[in-house]
Structure 1
Amino acid sequence: MSNEAQPTLTDLRAMLADQGAPEEALRLVDAARDVPDAVDRLTAAGFVQPVAESVMEFLDGFSPLLEPGCGPLDAELNASEFLGAIGGSVDPQDFPDVVAAMISDAEATGRPEALALARTFAVLAPPEVRPIAAQAADRLVARGLRDPEWAGTAGKPTVGACFGYADPRGAQEGLALTFSYGRKSHVLVLLIDHDLGGLKDCFVSDQPKEIRAGYVHAAAELGFPFREYTPEQARGIVADALEREPCPVEPDQVEDVTTTLALLEQRLELLPEAAPTALDTSVHRLKVTLRGSKPPIWRRVEVLSSTPLVRLHQVIQDLFAWEDYHLWVFDTPQGKYGMPDLELGHGDAATVTLADVARDHKDRIGYLYDFGDAWDHDILVEAVVQAEPGVAYPRCLTGRRAAPPEDSGGIWGYAHLCDVLADPEHPEHAERLEWLELDSAAAFDPAAFDTDEVNDYLARQAKVPVKP
């Protein structure tokens, strides 16, 4: 950077005058030899706060953004990593204020690195802070600093293909989002864990073709369908994941999510939103009953009408405290849907929504879990209503009786289990207690049901479709 790009005394005086500085401060600038001398005089007189060494240190991290050959993605990754590190050390509520203060401190230095910081923060910082960063950058340019070559294009890549695959039970989903700056493409590779919460891993690659080939191969090896998504579909999946807490597990996943989350949130804004429909805020009220249970074992639950059957499967698992160990299938008027299986004639439950197979009041579908024990459920549509503002779905409204333990032999085996536990003299009594890992039969109550406990499970996948 040449000396001509540095702010002059005239620039400094004009800035202070614009900000309403007192005459005494302006006289100190007039008496100074150069800008550093003026800053020293203003600092000594109390008109300017001294710049902390920590500010100079974090600005050094933006020096690579000034080097020849640095592109917009390089600059974004640098800033995303920096914001991730800061976000991990402060209260989320304080994060925007902390970032805004950093922008102000950086601007006060007048360094070219401060301009690089401001331009990247104008793209990746929390939305409420971005205008502050953009204004700071414009002021630095007005004082004579020159924008990096990437400044005009950062945050404006072209949206490309979106693709991925998911395990048919709906627990984990791999998704890739491609973007390009001119001829240079990059891809954000995501792993979403619906069981643990939301985003489990996210990293950036400059080899979208190789990532795609890897996804196709992995899906084929696992027997999962490889899917092409529209940008609107991809946005819905990512937005849904980001509404929940990130759930990285391995150290490299924690690092990946920390360093790329700001970039992912910005890229999400570039994906177009699907046009809203009435179905997006429509809710099915369902009564799910375990067939053959006497007394009846049932749950009443409200689920978004647009819920794919693969997600409804997970809802039912939570409603009945199943462990999702076994195969399952929905039996609908349109056919059977579960894990795709040509031999069994099962369609892909991820491609069909609840509203597709049970649209109206009094419609019914079946759900079979564990083809051996044959836990057969009857699902009745009791009503179709509009979502309430501020309410998260799915939500359990009520229910009756405890769910049978996994692998207890189907509805008849469960009835036998209850008889055994109720009779301390039964020859199988001790064996069954040990199998259930219970100290006494009193710890097992077949009549128990706790709505709050069920909703705690459902909260992992719940979202609010209508903001209050």
Structure 2
Amino acid sequence: MGQVSSRPPSRRHLEAVPDPSTHAGARRGKTGSALSLSDRCEPAPPVRRRDGRPTTAQPADPLRTPAAHGAPDPASEDITAADICRLLADLGAPADLTQAVAEFGDDLPALATWLQEIGAFGAPGDVLEPMLAQWTDLLEPGVGALAAEICAGEFLHSFHAAADGSPCQIDAMDFLLREVAATGRPEALAMCRCLAHLGPPVVRPTARRSAQDLLEAGLADQPWVADLDRAEFAAAFAYVEAAQESLVLEFRRADTGHAVVVVVDHRRGGGVQDLFVVDDAQVLRREVRQAATTRGFAITPLPAPQAAARLQAALAAPSCATEPDEIVGVGVHLPLLQDRLTRLPTSG
């Protein structure tokens, strides 16, 4: 199979075209490979939420979400008990809590009082502190724009806004972005810059405004911020083994080149099976060529419009990601892929 990734359980190293017999869920790591991303570029190992779904980072306590704007206000005319149940379920709340909420039916004032009494929706600081901690690594010297984008993908995947964009989750993210502007912390500015770049379109204006508020309060941007929007398309190619197609998009940014790799499974409807990023496009291309010579598959250069069409078709098909690392890989890197698709030339 034409995989271009190897993910051991605790790290996310990238390796060009492992042996076709290597199962997707038991890929080999390659310590010290030139294709290995630094720790900053690696999604954290998948863990399980209380609802059983994998995520890349432990979310804040799902019941400690700010009520005003961040979670639906039970006293609002526009909210229903069903909306609150859905939000709590999305956040991984225990089934007994959602069942208790449902038993209030349409008595929303009583439900609001009860939720406040049990402390289901806590103070903003209960959420902001662990959330901002996720962005601390982006303040270290030498961090690049690619690492910042992957950090954003991890956050969005754990937040699940990138996956379904439900109104409750979008409102919660919008609220949190406004709240972080009051912290005056550099992690907050890093968060706002990343979500203004890769966040759901509806929250990007809030992220930009919050970033501006933090700048006006005296903070300075990290060096990588200037490079976020500078990824330029360089080339695309594809190769196929065992009905699995790997589509590779190469981009350059300043003096570096990276690649976005999408694995498509044509045996199961042509959906995306895996998705990941390689921080050295030249080394990836060289290793793919070596594997093609050894194993006899063809490498097909793709014009940008053709690459875009294939990727859009794969994204429109039902997902083929089944292994935990595949699900995490797609969830974490999908916002970055969506950004790169907008940067493909429409002709040529």
Match of 1:109 in 2: 183
CA offset digits 1:78-113 (Å, max 9, x no partner): 111111121179854234333222212322322111
1:196 and 2:287 equivalent? Answer: no
1:134 and 2:239 equivalent? Answer: no
1:227 and 2:300 equivalent? Answer: yes
Q: What pairs with 1:247-286 in structure 2 (closer than 5 Å)?
A: 247-274=320-347
Q: Relative to 1, partners in 2 of residues 1:230 and 1:148: Cα closer, same or farther, differing over 3 Å?
A: same
Measured after TM superposition, the shift of residue 128 of structure 1 is 2.2
CA distance in 2, matches of 1:200, 1:190: 8
CA distance in 1, matches of 2:172, 2:251: 30
1:156 and 2:230 equivalent? Answer: yes
CA distance in 2, matches of 1:52, 1:191: 40
1:55 and 2:111 equivalent? Answer: no
CA distance in 2, matches of 1:88, 1:100: 11
1:118 and 2:192 equivalent? Answer: yes
Q: Relative to 1, partners in 2 of residues 1:195 and 1:188: Cα closer, same or farther, differing over 3 Å?
A: same
Q: What pairs with 1:381-392 in structure 2 (closer than 5 Å)?
A: none
CA distance in 2, matches of 1:134, 1:187: 27
Q: What pairs with 1:185-334 in structure 2 (closer than 5 Å)?
A: 185-197=257-269, 198-221=271-294, 223-274=296-347
Aligned residues, how many?
Answer: 225
Q: What pairs with 1:145-184 in structure 2 (closer than 5 Å)?
A: 145-167=219-241, 171-184=243-256
Measured after TM superposition, the shift of residue 71 of structure 1 is 1.2
Q: Relative to 1, partners in 2 of residues 1:247 and 1:72: Cα closer, same or farther, differing over 3 Å?
A: same
Match of 1:78 in 2: 151
Measured after TM superposition, the shift of residue 181 of structure 1 is 1.8
CA distance in 1, matches of 2:324, 2:299: 28
Match of 1:463 in 2: none
CA distance in 2, matches of 1:271, 1:76: 18
CA distance in 2, matches of 1:127, 1:98: 14
Measured after TM superposition, the shift of residue 216 of structure 1 is 2.9
CA offset digits 1:184-214 (Å, max 9, x no partner): 1111121012343421111111222232233
More helix by share: 2
Q: TM-score, normalised by structure 2?
A: 0.59
CA distance in 2, matches of 1:240, 1:209: 27
CA distance in 2, matches of 1:91, 1:203: 20
Q: What pairs with 1:389-428 in structure 2 (closer than 5 Å)?
A: none
CA distance in 1, matches of 2:173, 2:240: 36
Q: Which has the higher contact order (CA 8 A, sep 6+)?
A: 2
Tell me the secondary structure at the aligned position of residue 220 of structure 2.
coil
Contact 1:176/1:190, CA 8 A, preserved across alignment: yes
Q: What pairs with 1:373-388 in structure 2 (closer than 5 Å)?
A: none
Q: Relative to 1, partners in 2 of residues 1:91 and 1:266: Cα closer, same or farther, differing over 3 Å?
A: closer
Contact 2:180/2:210, CA 8 A, preserved across alignment: no
Match of 2:70 in 1: none
CA offset digits 1:99-151 (Å, max 9, x no partner): 22221232232211111000000110112222221121112112211111111
Contact 2:162/2:335, CA 8 A, preserved across alignment: no
Answer with 184-193 or 241-250: which moved more.
Answer: 241-250
Q: TM-score, normalised by structure 1?
A: 0.45
Q: Which is greater in Rg?
A: 1
More strand by share: 1
Match of 1:6 in 2: none
Q: Relative to 1, partners in 2 of residues 1:179 and 1:249: Cα closer, same or farther, differing over 3 Å?
A: same
Measured after TM superposition, the shift of residue 218 of structure 1 is 4.0
Contact 2:251/2:258, CA 8 A, preserved across alignment: yes
Q: What pairs with 1:340-355 in structure 2 (closer than 5 Å)?
A: none
Q: What is the aligned-residue identity percentage?
A: 36
Unpaired runs of 5+ residues, structure 2, are 1-121
Tell me the secondary structure at the aligned position of residue 277 of structure 2.
strand
1:69 and 2:151 equivalent? Answer: no
Measured after TM superposition, the shift of residue 222 of structure 1 is 5.1
> What is the letter of the counterpart of residue 100 of structure 1?
D
Measured after TM superposition, the shift of residue 69 of structure 1 is 1.1
CA offset digits 1:28-82 (Å, max 9, x no partner): xxxxxxxxxxxxxxxxxxxxx9533221111011111112111111111111111
Q: Relative to 1, partners in 2 of residues 1:233 and 1:155: Cα closer, same or farther, differing over 3 Å?
A: same
Contact 2:139/2:187, CA 8 A, preserved across alignment: yes
